[in-house]
Structure 1
Amino acid sequence: MTHNVTLIPGDGVGPEIAAAARRVIDASGARIAWEVVQAGEAVMAEYGTPLPAYVLDSIRKNKVALKGPITTPVGKGFRSVNVTLRQELNLYANVRPARTLPGIKTRYQNVDLIIVRENTEDLYAGIEHRVGADAAESIKIITRPASERIARHAFDLARRQGRRKVTAVHKANIMKLSDGLFLECARRVAEEYPDIAFENMIVDAMCMKLVQTPENYDVLVLPNLYGDIVSDLCAGLVGGLGVAPGANTGLEAAVFEPVHGSAPKHAGQNRVNPLAIILSGVMMLQHLGENEAADRIMRAVTAVLSEGRNLTYDLGGSAGTSEMAGAIIGKMQG
């Protein structure tokens, strides 16, 4: 079966790492028909927006996309392309695994977490305004439908993957109504899954405990803002954003992407680690039911990391982006 997939190369180093991931996925045995569409800085002059309508149309048509990083101006101008994509396509669940990989130096071993982040509301709804000349106000939105939906997504994922526990992360001790509602919904959904342990944790305590004993946690479910922050913390436990894949899923579409930025200062230098987008591609293949191809890539990635001969500079090697991708392909074909 051939799968139609939208490919958004992105900005900065995006085109290089997207090309590397495409080569690896094409070599995996999965049959992918790529529809390449451009978004970000490269289309601003022509379309007046970093996210032209044709990008959304392509994803709606194909249902699945692999996306490179896209630059968003800080503090002014257009809203985040990532946030807009999630809201326009109702990609309500952001899923970010954080798993220790061989050959990557970290302070921790045997970390295996999944962060499930509500993706459509909370402070990231972008409802904010000025209050006079010297203040600004952002409105935090937490709803029962969205909270129950993301909690159920976390428990369903835990059950599918044979996970043992779901931890709801919140600040309900202070934000008793908004975070209190999120926690109430998580507790209610947990009653439907008696086979999976459930606990809740205040977000600041969660950050401390993740640094102390990450092995005690399995699946975390969080509102949008906390999920953004804690997922980066968990990426740090396993080697950084360069090895952190991500998925944004909804009922009608799914967008898979590395969670790091576009790193424009490294663009065109063939030196950036492509693992995050390759691992995002593995998640995409699993979503498409191409589990054999996904496993083939993971075995090859593990072999290359374990050997340590074809790694990019951030992993302690001297290989380029394309060379590391080539080494992964070689392991699949060897």
Structure 2
Amino acid sequence: MIRNAIFTAMRPALTSSRAASTITESAFPKIAERLPTKYGGVYTVTLIPGDGIGAEITDSVKEIFEAVNAPIEWEQYDVSGMSSSGEALFKQAMESLKRNKVGLKGILFTPISQSGHISWNVAMRQQLDIYASVVLCKSLPGFSTRHSNVDFAIIRENTEGEYSGLEHQSYPGVVESLKVSTRAKAERIARFAFDFALKNNRKKVTCVHKANIMKLGDGLFLNTFRRIAEEYKTYGIESNDMIVDNTSMQLVAKPQQFDVMVMPNLYGAIVSNIGAALVGGPGIVPGCNVGRDYALFEPGCRHVAVDIMGKDRANPAAMILSATMMLRHLGLGHMANNISKATFDVINAGKVRTPDMGGADSTHAFTAEVIKNLQH
């Protein structure tokens, strides 16, 4: 079981009756059998910078960790999804993840062409059974957007549904794709969502589905959710459900109505992008993928941003905050708090901002400002 997963990364963001952080130190179960790899007081963590801006924003994390003297030793694998020749390196990275049980990762490009390789991102989730994706969308007081007081968590089933990758051409011009839905995995992600709500003082869990059309597949997911919801009524956790297209409209019209959202794979990929746009874009939304034995931390909104690659314009905040989630998972909460507070102080002050936030500052300038705001 996962040890001390995730974080209070959003803690410094707002002051309210509920702590601004919505993922506490006890948010997830603990690893009972084996702790993450640690030698001589130093944790060994697998680092996969990813494609696009991945190398730039992971370099920001390295600089900040060095500034606070974080006891992290990186096993770096420069896996890339840009070509199909990287399978050997991908396998090495997977062995590292299985050995260390903890990783920090950028986003790997997935080709669209039929001749392209499978998604390395999806392969990691399936092979490690990191079945729950958690993305946090929260308004920041120093970075105003169209909506304010947005504060919800997106929990996405990570291993089946449309991402099963089972499709074939049964006849020229006729393609069949298999969407796999199982009761066991629907129950697992539903319990995860309700446990998450319970442990983080959340009040409501919303199931997002398309059961009006996919009556068997999404119907199974919805009915399983409703059954699990009955078990949590005594804890005061409310539940409701919403069709995915209506969810999209409600998100852009009144996002404050959502608290915890749980959904199958494809819907989660779409909703997390909408959620990121509501609070300021992919550059400030942290996330992670967790399972029984492994935890992989990465930005919540999965964009490789090839268009700004190498231009020193990327916003590293999402990667930095995802790294603080990793620190908290490793039991280094004091360092996580220090880094996350410094990051939010920089964003809220508004003096140093990357182009995606309406500024003209570089990735290096943002990183330097975070380091300047650290408590030494």
Output the CA distance in 2 between the equivalents of 1:25 and 1:114. 26
- Are residues 1:32 and 2:72 paired? yes
1:250 aligns with one of 283, 287, 291: 291
Provide the secondary structure at the position in 1 that maps to 2:72: strand
Runs of 4+ displaced beyond 4 Å: 41-45
1:28 Cα shift? 4.2
- Are residues 1:160 and 2:199 paired? yes
1:179-215 CA-partner distances (Å, limit 9, x unpaired): 1110111112112222211111111111111122111
2:279 aligns with one of 238, 242, 264: 238
- Are residues 1:202 and 2:240 paired? no
Matched residue, 1:150: 189
One-letter amino acid of the counterpart of residue 6, structure 1: T
One-letter amino acid of the counterpart of residue 101, structure 2: K
1:111-134 CA-partner distances (Å, limit 9, x unpaired): 111000000000110111112111
Q: Is the 8 A contact 1:166 1:220 kept in 2?
A: yes
Provide the secondary structure at the position in 1 that maps to 2:145: coil
1:50 Cα shift? 7.5
One-letter amino acid of the counterpart of residue 198, structure 1: S
1:256-281 CA-partner distances (Å, limit 9, x unpaired): 11233222232222111111111211
Matched residue, 1:287: 329
Output the CA distance in 1 between the equivalents of 2:63 and 2:112. 32
Output the CA distance in 2 between the equivalents of 1:29 and 1:167. 40
- Are residues 1:108 and 2:150 paired? no
Output the CA distance in 1 between the equivalents of 2:105 and 2:224. 32
Matched residue, 1:10: 50
Q: 1:7 to 1:197 in 2, by over 3 A?
A: same
Aligned length: 332
Q: Is the 8 A contact 1:113 1:219 kept in 2?
A: yes
2:91 aligns with one of 19, 32, 53: 53
1:152-191 CA-partner distances (Å, limit 9, x unpaired): 1111111111111111111111111111110111112112
One-letter amino acid of the counterpart of residue 65, structure 1: G
Matched residue, 1:212: 253
1:232 Cα shift? 0.9
Matched residue, 1:267: 309
Q: 1:285 to 1:83 in 2, by over 3 A?
A: same
1:191 aligns with one of 195, 210, 230: 230
1:56 Cα shift? 0.3
Matched residue, 2:268: 227
Matched residue, 2:366: 324
Matched residue, 1:63: 101
Output the CA distance in 1 between the equivalents of 2:184 and 2:263. 14
Provide the secondary structure at the position in 2 that maps to 1:114: strand
Q: Is the 8 A contact 2:77 2:89 kept in 1?
A: no
Matched residue, 1:121: 160
Output the CA distance in 2 between the equivalents of 1:237 and 1:7. 29
Provide the secondary structure at the position in 1 that maps to 2:159: coil
Structure 1 unaligned regions, length at least 5: none
Output the CA distance in 2 between the equivalents of 1:180 and 1:51. 40
One-letter amino acid of the counterpart of residue 306, structure 1: N
Q: Is the 8 A contact 1:10 1:39 kept in 2?
A: yes
Report the more deviating stretch, 203-212 or 85-94.
Answer: 203-212
- Are residues 1:19 and 2:59 paired? yes
1:29 Cα shift? 5.4
Matched residue, 2:119: 80
Q: Is the 8 A contact 2:82 2:110 kept in 1?
A: no
Provide the secondary structure at the position in 2 that maps to 1:200: strand
1:282 Cα shift? 1.9
Output the CA distance in 2 between the equivalents of 1:16 and 1:262. 11
One-letter amino acid of the counterpart of residue 324, structure 2: V
Structure 2 unaligned regions, length at least 5: 1-40
Output the CA distance in 2 between the equivalents of 1:284 and 1:329. 18
1:138 Cα shift? 0.8
Provide the secondary structure at the position in 1 that maps to 2:198: helix
1:235 Cα shift? 0.9
Q: 1:43 to 1:5 in 2, by over 3 A?
A: farther
Q: Structure 2 length as normaliser, TM-score? A: 0.84
Q: Is the 8 A contact 1:41 1:50 kept in 2?
A: no
Matched residue, 2:352: 310
Q: Is the 8 A contact 2:143 2:347 kept in 1?
A: yes
Output the CA distance in 1 between the equivalents of 2:309 and 2:166. 34
Which structure features the higher share of helix residues?
Answer: 1
